[in-house]
Amino acid sequence: MSLKQRVILTTAVAVVVAASVVGLLAYTIIAGQLLATVDTTLRVAAAEAKMGGNEDVGGPPLPSDVSVEVATGRVDLATGAVIVVRQAGTSADPKPFPRLTPAELVLAARDPLSVDAPGPYRVYVRIMDPRRGAAVAVMSLERYQQSLNQFAWSLTGALVGVLLVLLAASWLIARRMFVPLDDIVRSAEGITARDVGARVPAHGNASEVRRLAASLNSMIDRLAESEGSLRAFIADTSHEIRTPLTVISGYLQQLEVGASQGAPVDPEVLRRMSRESQRLDRLVTQLLRLDAVGTRTSTVSSVRLDELIREELADLVALDGTRFITLSLEPVSIEGEEDSLRQLMANIRQNLERHTPPGSIIEATLTIQGSEALLLVDDSGPGIPDPQRRAALSSTRRDETARGRSTEGFGLGMTIIATVVAHHGGTLSLDTSPLGGLRTRIALPLHAKATW
C-alpha cells in the first residue's frame, strides 16, 4: 500500500470515527431532551390533578374526538391500588391504563420512571396529601420512540452524506498534497547511472517537501561528484597501469624481433623492463593498501607519530643523501591504526622522493595543537599549482605542469594519504611552502573516534 493510500485510509478511518462519535453524542442529547419533555409533561399533569373528598378529578371533561396523551389516576397509599381518573386516547377509544406494581409506584414517586406494563411507559407519582393518596401520571413512550427513531435515521443519512463529502474532499486534498512527491518520485526514477544531470523539482507549498527536494538534489550532487571522482580515479589509475604495460610490451616486441634475427639481448632493455615491472608492482600494492584502509581487521592502538616520521625520513636520507632534511618533532602519541599511519608516512616519503629533485630542502614539524597532532611537511621542490591541488587529493590525475614533467603524475600516494587522514577523523590540505615548494598540512586527533 502506497503512502498516499495509507494517508487516505487513515483520514477515512478518522472521519468515520469522528462522525460516529458526533452521531452518538447528538443521539444521546436529543434522546435526553425528548425524555425531559416527557417528564415535564408528566409533572405538569400530576400537578394539575385535583383530589377532593371522595372524588378525584383529572380535569374538565374533553370532547370525544380529542386525544389525550397523559393518563392520570389516584394511588391509595394504604393498599397501593390505582384508581384511574382519566385514560389516554379519546373518550370513544380510550387506551388501557398500564398495570403498575407497588415497587414501581414507590420509585416513580422519586423521579419519573420508565416501565414496561406492557409496552414502554413513563410514570410519575406526586404525593399531594398522605391522607388522601397521590396523583399518578402515565404516558406512552411509543411516540417518543418513533420520534427518536426518525431522528436517528435522519441523523444517519446526514452523517453518511457528510462522510462521503469529507472522504471525497480528503481524497482530493491528499492527491493534491502528493503531486509534488509524485513529481519527485518520477524525477528520481528518471535519474540513471548514465544520466545524473536531472534534478527533482523543488516546488509545492509544504516546506517539508521543499526540504526533501533540496536534500535529494544535494545527495544527487554528491553522488554525481563521487561518480565523477570515481570515473576519473578509474581512468587515471588505468592510465598509470597502462604506461608501464605499454613500455614492457614494446620492449618484449623488440626482444622478439632481436631473437628472430639472432641479435644479443640488450641489458638496457632488461633493466628498463625490470624498472617498469617494479613500477607496476608498486601501483598494484598501493591499490591493495588503499582498499585495506579502515577494514574491520584493523586495530586501534597508541602510536608514536614522531617515531614513524623519523623512520621514514631516515629511509629517504639513506636513498639520497643530497637532500637537506630538518626535523622538529615533539613526542606525540595518538590513537589510531598503526599500519594505516605507517602507510601514510611511507607515502609522504615516496612523494618527497619522487617529486623533489636532489639537493632539495625538506622540513618536517610535528606539534600538539589542542586535541590534535599537527604535522607540516615543507619542501623546496616544484610544488603543485593551486588549480591542481584538489585533483591531487582526489584522484591519480596526471598533470605535466605539476611536480616536474619527468614525474609520473600525482599517483595513488596522495589519494592514500587523504584516505588515511579522513579515516582517522583528521584534515589534509596542500598549500604553498615558505621554501617555495609544497606544504602538506595534516591534523590528526590525539584520541580515536568513538565510531571505530
Q: pLDDT tens-digit profile of 305-339?
A: 999 999 888 888 877 778 899 999 999 999 988 88
Cβ neighbour number for residue 99 with a 10 Å cutoff:
11
Please give the grid coordinates belonging to residue 289: 593498501
Average pLDDT, the chain: 79
Q: Is the pLDDT of residue 446 over 80?
A: yes
Give the residue from 225, 238, 223, 222 showing the smallest Cα distance to 396: 238
Q: Is the pLDDT of residue 29 over 50?
A: yes
181 to 43, 196, 205, 405: CA distances (angstroms): 65, 19, 12, 53
pLDDT band at 196 (very low <50, low <70, confident <90, very high): low
Q: Is the pLDDT of residue 145 over 60?
A: yes
User: What is the per-residue pLDDT across 337-360, written as a single tens digit (0 to 9) for each?
Assistant: 888 888 888 888 888 888 888 889
How much is the average pLDDT of 441-449? 86
pLDDT of res. 54: 41
Residue 334, beta-bridge partner list: 303
Q: Is the pLDDT of residue 421 over 50?
A: yes
User: What is the per-residue pLDDT across 115-124, written as a single tens digit (0 to 9) for each?
Assistant: 887 788 889 9
pLDDT band at 369 (very low <50, low <70, confident <90, very high): very high
DSSP label at 68?
Answer: B
Task: Return d(Cα 97, Cα 403) in angstroms, integer.
Answer: 119
Give the residue from 145, 142, 98, 144 showing the smallest Cα distance to 124: 98
> Helix, strand, or coil here: 446?
coil
pLDDT of res. 6: 79
pLDDT of res. 1: 67
Task: Return d(Cα 143, Cα 59) in angstroms, integer.
Answer: 23
Q: Which of 85-89's residues contact partners 24+ apart within 8 Å by CB, and which partners?
A: 85/49, 85/56, 85/57, 85/58, 86/58, 86/59, 88/138, 88/139, 88/140
The answer to whether 90 and 64 are in contact (CB under 8 A) is yes
CATH architecture of 298-445: 2-Layer Sandwich (3.30)
Class of domain 191-292: mainly alpha
Highest mean pLDDT among 85-89, 128-132, 377-381: 377-381
Q: Would you say the pTM of this structure is higher than 0.85?
A: no
How much is the average pLDDT of 149-155? 88
pLDDT of res. 62: 54
Q: Is the pLDDT of residue 154 over 80?
A: yes
The answer to whether 70 and 93 are in contact (CB under 8 A) is no
User: What is the per-residue pLDDT across 54-76, written as a single tens digit (0 to 9) for each?
Assistant: 444 445 555 556 677 888 888 87
In the chain, the N- to C-terminal Cα span, in Å, equals 39
Task: Return d(Cα 389, Cα 410) in angstroms, integer.
Answer: 10
User: What is the per-residue pLDDT across 259-303, written as a single tens digit (0 to 9) for each?
Assistant: 888 778 778 878 888 877 877 777 777 677 666 665 545 678 899
Task: Return d(Cα 337, Cα 204) in angstroms, integer.
Answer: 49
